[in-house]
Structure 1
Amino acid sequence: MTKSFLRIFFLFFFIIPEFFVCRIMSQERQWVLTPKNISSALAEDSILAASDTLRPAFHLVPPAGCMGDPNGGIYHQGWYHIFYGLQPFSSSPGGWYWAHARSRDLLIWEHTPPTHTPAFEFGLDAVGSGSTITAADGHVYAFYSAAGKDGKMKFWQARFNSDLSAWQHSAVNPVLTLDQPGIPPFDRFWRDPFVFTAGGRTFLIACADLFEADDVSVPIFEARNAQLTQWEYKGIMFTYPKYKARNLEVPELRKLGNKWILLASTDAPVDRCLYFIGNFDVNSLKFIAEKEGIIDYSGHYYAQETIRDDKGNLYLMAWIPGWDRDWLPAYMNSPLKNSSPLWNGCFALPRQLMIDPDGSLVQKPVDVLKQLRTVHRVIEGHDLPVTSAFTAYDVIEEIKGNQLEIKMEMDLHHASFCGINVLCNREGRKGLFICWSGSMINVDGVIVPLPEWKQGQTLRLHIFIDRQLVEVFINEGRYCVSRKVQPECIGGRYIALTRLGGTARLVSLEAWQLKAVRP
């Protein structure tokens, strides 16, 4: 078979059909983000999207379309509100509007009609990431970034109605641009405004960068009027070395206990959410970090967003992207593709944020998740003896499922490593492996250091399995990892205990079947 024939074969059967498939799909679904068009697309696609058997059952997912960053988290009139970027016409990113979901308890979410659409009167065709705030006048305002008619990124403001079901853009938009006097020439990454109050004053921080600088910047602005339409540049609030993070996207500054916490996401050198705990000086307008860390070690957790309730509790949500495989030809029956191509993305489980006595961030799954528990199983503590096999697997027959909550404690004892495999087959193979070797834990290839571990200490895991999504809370939430298990890697619905090189001990294990909050 000649090389010329192979080229023609590949061109005819792969490249040309893919070109026409993409061309037809793009012509059919290139719609303007009006409420009518959005509602029509979601109604058309949501039935098939809901039929996907790997779609998360108790995580917040969009009705259909491609979910983006969470935005504007706020507790208002007894409801937790979360907005998020949504591309309703495709399972691929881009062309967002702000979809809106609300909940009484952070568990059962209600999707509202699509009314938070772009400011077409200003030439906008999409809505970028941003935040919300309750201003001194009692109104709730949204701030977000989007490119204007000239293609330059600018910050825009809209005022919500009383129940946040609709918004009206300010007539003086945009409210903040890089053309305003006194603002440095931020070359790129100018986006993601976050508005907050401190010391009776209102401030705005954003993602930004001075291209020639060695550090990435978080600038700070102060509101000059009660309507929050005039902003004055006040300097750089925080910097961070570029060799550690290419940018600090969707920055948030929140009071947590007697400290302040700065949260941000970076897309390089790896996708991660970071936290910095320290102090914010309302006079110098500088944030001084005393401790830093990683919110979630997985690259599957991004664009964090917080909500503070009426009791002062601070809850964290984030985006888990990348569920589709649109780069594969649409006509190829590949196990890498979703069974439904009409949805993409979900939010991680809500987590309550706290600072422990040594100053580290602790993340706990919200208590309301206990309402999902049904069948309960307890496995008594016992030794896991060494075997002749290189790695031993003990499948636990009493526990089986792909909607599970597991709480367990293990003692390394004499083993080189021990752990658990979930979503595995009856032989303990495939699935997602969690392997612990003392000062390090490996969650499906994600390495998490445990520097505080000392010989003889045990490991505690709190695991949530939602079909192909697994969230792991390590040692009472001091470390977290969220992972998607690709369909071809799922072995089944079993769990198995593993060890290598000696006897390990299971101290305790209990598990619950979890009910779905949607079909």
Structure 2
Amino acid sequence: MASQTLREARKYEEMAEAQIPQEARPAFHLSPRAGWMNDPNGFSWYQGMYHMFYQYHPYSSYWGPMHWGHAVSRDLLHWEYLPAALAPDMPYDKDGCFSGSALELADGRQMLMYTGVLHEPQPDGSFHEIQTQCIALGDGRDYEKLPENPVLTEKALPEGGSRYDFRDPKAWLGEDGRYYCVAGNCTGDKDGQILLYSSADGLHWQYEGILAKNNGRFGRMWECPDFFELDGKHVLLTSPQDMLPRGFEYHNGNGTLCLIGSYEKEGHVFTEEHDQSIDYGIDFYAPQTVLTPDGRRVMIGWMQNWDTCNMRSQPKTWFGQMSLPRELSVREGRLYQKPVRELEELRRNKVEYHGVKVAGEALRLAGIEGRTVDMELEIAPAQGRELYRKFAVRFAQDQERHTAISFRPHESILKIDRKFSGSRRAIIHQRRSLVRHEGGALRLRIVLDRFSAEVFVWDGEQVLTATIDTPLSADGISFYADGEAVLDVVKYDLM
């Protein structure tokens, strides 16, 4: 039986959704039914559908008491909203149902495992968030919270583990038939660690140990972990807070981290071999993955940035969207990401050019335009000429506005820049990435969906993601080179 709090949220979101025209939303990225969206939660396959839950405040387009929104899809691109799944309506979660995960139990029920938040008053009049792990069980639409909640409390923390920063459980079924989950935590001095738990039935959990420790390397508190096997390696994804840049890695403050290594299952020992950012753009955080029925590991992240999300030029009826679903692989010890293959089913109206000389003034090509676009570029230096100094592609363009991707081969720097996109706020508008090139040759794939751009370098060796707020009437695309470059371009509309 849904609580009054949940019934009110469901009634409100249904009314509010009807006020948002479809053309005001992304075409194939999931946005909130109404109000505010942040972290993806419970990304799972259940009863023939992909389920995506999300951190959700239906009553305004700003962060508020966290609910769980809910949507389902058959192809990861077309989403149908279901009623909100969770609301903060119990003594242990009355101040928020924070992030978590979902899986199917042996009896066929879908389990949601989430972080319950309770504000505890302190002697000085301030409040601390007490964070515990809780469970709700349901049928893919309606869920009942366990009477035994919370199932993991401070009693299940290692010595020195903070009960104020203990959140975001990601659960899975192990090959041995046991259930496992990882959760983010930190020590009293805010140094991040990932904790591992196990369960025989998915309902009663026990502490196994510390899977990974920060030791002061990557920011502070580690949020939103995910842990899985991929291409013979084990991969730990997490989103550290307060990161410091290291060269061209980890520039986002609240950013993303991928650790690749080996895992000894007997002793639950994860040995790191490689670290990297997950996304090198401006807007990407808190990714979560699902194993698809055909065996692919697919990841979706929140396509936003905590440092810019409250600085907006205009009021909005909704805010926040998810990234394009990305198929993951590990190649030569590095994480690769590419758009899910289902995206190619949306391609229409192919336009193709080969060997186009780009030099000096901005070049427009007939048929190359639009705001829902899948575009593949191959850039090369002109034969027998000096290496070009800069190449740029500008999109979401009109007389006043554009967003740009530019590449300087002498520095090996790829930059995404939205300072001319129409923003009236001094938010983060640029991000640079060190990329590989072959004598000035570079391959890019740019996916545009109305209010976002995702740039895949060398078939997903690196990805740069950014949201844009440019009016949809700005649909021009142009190319520019300082020096002389040669361009091959294949462009599709995404319908």
Structures share fold, TM-score greater than 0.5: yes
Residues 63 and 491 of structure 1, relative CA distance in 2, 3 Å threshold: closer
1:513 lines up with 2:493 in the alignment: yes
Partner of 2:371: 402
Give the alignment partner of residue 272 of structure 2, picking from 258, 271, 289.
Answer: 289
Q: Distance in 1 between matches of 2:19 and 2:237?
A: 36
Matched, 1:348 2:331: no
Relative to structure 1, the CA distance from residue 503 to residue 195 in structure 2 (aligned partners, 3 Å threshold; closer, same or farther) is same
Q: Of 440, 447, 455, which residue of structure 1 is paired with 2:413?
A: 440
**1:493 maps to which of 464, 475, 481:** 475
What displacement does 1:138 show?
4.3
Deviations 1:362-391 (A, max 9, x none): 111011112222222112222223x4xxxx
Partners of 2:261 and 2:310 lie apart in 1 by 42
Q: Residue 117 of structure 2 corresponds to which residue in structure 1?
A: 147
| Cα distance between partner residues in 1 of 2:286 and 2:267 | 28
8 Å Cα contact 1:158/1:167 also seen in 2: yes
Cα distance in 1 for partners of 2:59, 2:4 equals 9
Q: Does 2:51 align with 1:81? A: yes
| 1:208 partner SS | strand
Q: Is the 8 A contact 1:50 1:63 kept in 2?
A: no
**Matching of residue 71 in structure 1 with residue 41 in structure 2:** yes
Secondary structure of the corresponding residue to residue 277 of structure 2: strand
Does 2:100 correspond to 1:130?
A: yes
User: 8 Å contact 1:137–1:226 — kept in the other structure?
Assistant: no
Change (3 A) 1:149 1:137: farther
1:252 corresponds in structure 2 to 226
Distance 1:327 1:192, change over 3 A: closer
In 2, the alpha carbon distance for the partners of 1:441 and 1:296 equals 13
Tell me what 1:278 maps to.
261
Change (3 A) 1:494 1:320: same
Determine which of 245, 268, 274 is the counterpart of 2:242: 268
Shift of 1:183: 4.8
Distance 1:326 1:362, change over 3 A: closer
Give deviations 1:440-459, integer Å, cap 9, x for gaps. 21111211112x43425x21
Aligned residue identity for 1:74: S
- Amino acid in structure 2 at the alignment position of 1:220: L
* Separation (CA, whole Å) in 1 of partners of 2:22 and 2:48: 32
CA distance in 2: counterparts of 1:119 and 1:195, whole angstroms: 23
Tell me the equivalent position of 2:195: 219
Name the TM-score, length of structure 2 as normaliser: 0.85
Q: Give the C-alpha shift of residue 326 in structure 1.
A: 9.2
Coordinate RMSD, CA, aligned: 2.6
Q: Any residues of structure 2 matched to 1:349-364 within 5 Å, and which?
A: 349-356=324-331, 358-364=332-338
**Gap change, CA 1:229 and 1:360, over 3 Å in 2:** same
Taking structure 1 as the reference length, what is the TM-score of the superposition? 0.82
Distance 1:267 1:249, change over 3 A: same
Aligned to 1:242, which of 211, 216, 225? 216
- Following the alignment from structure 2 to structure 1, what is the Cα–Cα distance between the partners of residues 106 and 160? 29
**Alpha-carbon offset, residue 187 of structure 1:** 5.7
Question: How do residues 318-467 of structure 1 correspond to structure 2 at under 5 angstroms?
Answer: 318-321=301-304, 336-338=313-315, 341-356=316-331, 358-385=332-359, 387=360, 392-413=361-382, 414-425=387-398, 430-438=401-409, 439-444=412-417, 445-450=430-435, 452-455=436-439, 458-467=441-450
Once the two structures are superposed, residues 148-189 of structure 1 have per-residue CA deviations (whole angstroms, 9 ceiling, x without a partner) of: 47552111111222xx11112222111111135865432642
What is the one-letter code of the residue matched to 2:326?
A: R
* Aligned-pair CA distance for 1:266: 2.2
Residue 40, structure 1, aligned to residue 24, structure 2: no
> Deviation per CA, 1:425-452, whole angstroms, max 9, x where unpaired?
26xx6411111122221111211112x4
Aligned partner of residue 187 in structure 2, secondary structure = coil
Please tell me whether residue 298 in structure 1 is matched to residue 281 in structure 2. yes
Aligned 8 A contact 1:115 1:167 in 2: yes
Q: Does the alignment pair 1:49 with 2:20?
A: yes
| AA matched with 1:98 | W
Number of residue pairs matched?
457
Displacement, 1:238?
0.5
The 3-state SS of whatever aligns with 2:155 is coil
The question of whether the paired residues in 1 share the 8 Å contact of 2:131 and 2:165 is answered with no
Give the Cα separation in 2 of the matches to 1:395 and 1:474: 22
Q: Aligned letter for 2:489?
A: L
Match for 1:465: what amino acid? Answer: L
Amino acid corresponding to residue 513 of structure 1 in structure 2? D
Give the one of 93, 109, 116 matched to 2:86: 116
CA distance in 2, matches of 1:326, 1:484: 10
Q: For residues 157 and 337 of structure 2, what CA distance do their matches in structure 1 show?
A: 41
Match of 1:191 in 2: 167
Cα deviation, residue 59, structure 1: 1.2
2:204 to 200, 225, 229: 229
Inter-partner Cα distance in structure 2 for 1:212 and 1:326: 27
- 8 Å CA contact 1:238, 1:287 repeated in 2: yes
Give, in whole Å, the separation in 2 of the partners of 1:181 and 1:461: 45
CA-CA distance at 1:247 after TM superposition: 2.3
Equivalent pair of 1:157/1:229 in contact (CA under 8 Å): no
The residue number in structure 2 matching 1:503 is 484
One-letter amino acid matched to 1:499: A
- Structure with greater helix percent: 1
What secondary structure, in the 3-state scheme, does the structure 1 residue paired with 2:15 have? helix
SS at match of 1:487: coil
Q: 1:188 to 1:116 in 2, by over 3 A?
A: closer
Asked if the contact 1:272–1:299 (Cα under 8 Å) also holds between the matched residues in 2, the reply is: no
Give, as a single letter, the amino acid of the residue that structure 1 aligns with 2:113.
F
* Structure 1 residue 311, shift from structure 2 partner: 1.9
* One-letter identity of the residue aligned with 1:34: T
Deviation at 1:419, TM superposition (A): 2.4
